[in-house]
Amino acid sequence: MRLIIGGYAQGKLDYALQKYHVDSRNVFDGSIPDRAEVINGTVIINHLNTYIRQSMTDGKSPETEIFDFIDKYPDCVIITDEVGNGIVPIDEFERGFRETIGRIQIELAKMAEEVERVICGIGQKIK
């Protein structure tokens, strides 16, 4: 698994598409696909942050599905927004979201064979 992390609108998906030549049908935005939705080749999960937010809004724990997916597709690319570089939100849900996504990203980074941070469309290999 490869992890791409970076701020909002930094060109993370374009960077990944150029680097990994992924079929656009295998790019899933803010969702974890079922086996039936995936075709042969590398899979990209874009906006994992959106998925985590939705899952938490629905009262579920996002970790299980994410890690199950990686088990099934160990060659996937996961793209996620960096959201922790700000002031602690007043809203309790927002605080919880920031913490959950941070912890998930740490776990993903540990598992990943490569971690890149994208700024201004440029990837910086940090692992």
Partner 1 sequence: MMILIIGGSSSGKSAFAEDMIVSLSKEKKKYYIATMKVYDAESEKKIERHRILRKGKGFITLEQPVNIQNAIDKIDSRECNALLECISNLTANEMFLGDIPKVADTVAGKIVDGIKQLNDNVSQLVIVSNNVFEDGNVYDSATMEYIKAMGLINEKLGMLADSIIEVVAGIPVYIKDC
Q: Figure out which of the listed residues 19, 60, 72, 127 binds partner 1, where binding follows CB under 8 A.
A: 127
Number of continuous H segments (helices) and E segments (strands) in the chain: 4, 6
SS3 category, 115: strand
Pick the binder of partner 1 from 1, 2, 3, 81 (CB under 8 A). Answer: 3
In 1-127, which residue ranges form alpha helices assigned H by DSSP? 12-20, 48-57, 62-72, 92-111
How near is the Cβ of 69 to partner 1 at its closest, in Å?
18
**Which C-beta is closer to partner 1: that of 26 or that of 104?**
104
**Cα(83)–Cα(8) distance, integer angstroms:** 8
Provide the 10 A C-beta neighbour count for residue 65: 15
CB atoms within 10 A of CB 90: 7
Residue 25 makes contact with partner 1 by CB under 8 A: no
Confirm or reject binding of residue 117 to partner 1 (CB under 8 A). yes
Binders of partner 1 in range 53-112 (CB under 8 A)? 82-88, 95, 98-103, 105-106, 108-110
Give the interface with partner 1 as residue ranges (CB under 8 A): 3, 5, 7, 82-88, 95, 98-103, 105-106, 108-110, 115, 117, 124, 126-127
